[in-house]
Amino acid sequence: MNKVRQLLSDLQNTDSATRNHATHELWQIWYREAGKLAEHQLDQGTRLMGENLLNEAKKVFQSLIKNYPDFAEAYNKLATLLFMKGEYAESIFECERALKLNPHHFGALNGMGMCLFQLARYDEALASFQMALKIQPYADINREYVARCRGLLN
């Protein structure tokens, strides 16, 4: 866990190479945290999602969640898929489940913000993007959406 804390700290670094390395390493840790079989299934679901075979990918992610209920990345991937399908409320639910398991999951915070934005729940979206920025302060996408939310709330 010491390594994760260091990587989270590195996300705050002014050096972009350090931040990029930390981001990549965190994703690797999150992908692998449930073991090789789960990682293989996650890759399979992600590949299906990339091929726009969303129903098949959804089955893979739901199976992963059933078999590995503490695997935050499975919930995050399901949330991403639901976002792609325009099922924003369902995606938010899955983001919340991922965040209960991994409160530092900047991807789930960003995804939840994107869903809330799509639902015109700008105050909640703003809060989600701001939480993501506390973890990843140099993430331009979150800063952009903070500004968009503020503009729509004023």
The per-residue DSSP string of 35-86 comes to: -HHHHHHHHHHHHHHHTT-HHHHHHHHHHHHHH-TT-HHHHHHHHHHHHHTT
CA gap 54, 67 in Å, rounded: 20
Based on the number of CB atoms within 10 Å of its own CB, is 137 exposed (0-12), middle (13-18) or buried (19 or more)?
middle
- Please tell me the distance from the alpha carbon of residue 105 to that of residue 32, in angstroms, as a whole number: 14
Q: What is the pLDDT of residues 100-148, one digit of tens each?
A: 999 999 999 999 999 999 999 999 999 999 999 999 999 999 999 999 9
Tokens 């331009």 locate to 140
Q: Specify the pLDDT at position 101.
A: 98
Q: What is the pLDDT of residues 13-62, one digit of tens each?
A: 999 999 999 999 999 999 999 999 999 999 999 999 999 999 999 999 99
Give the pLDDT of residue 1. Answer: 54
Instruction: Give, as one character, the DSSP assignment of residue 30.
Output: H
CA distance linking residue 98 with residue 60, whole number of Å: 16
Query: Amino acid identity, residue 31?
Result: Y
pLDDT band at 154 (very low <50, low <70, confident <90, very high): confident
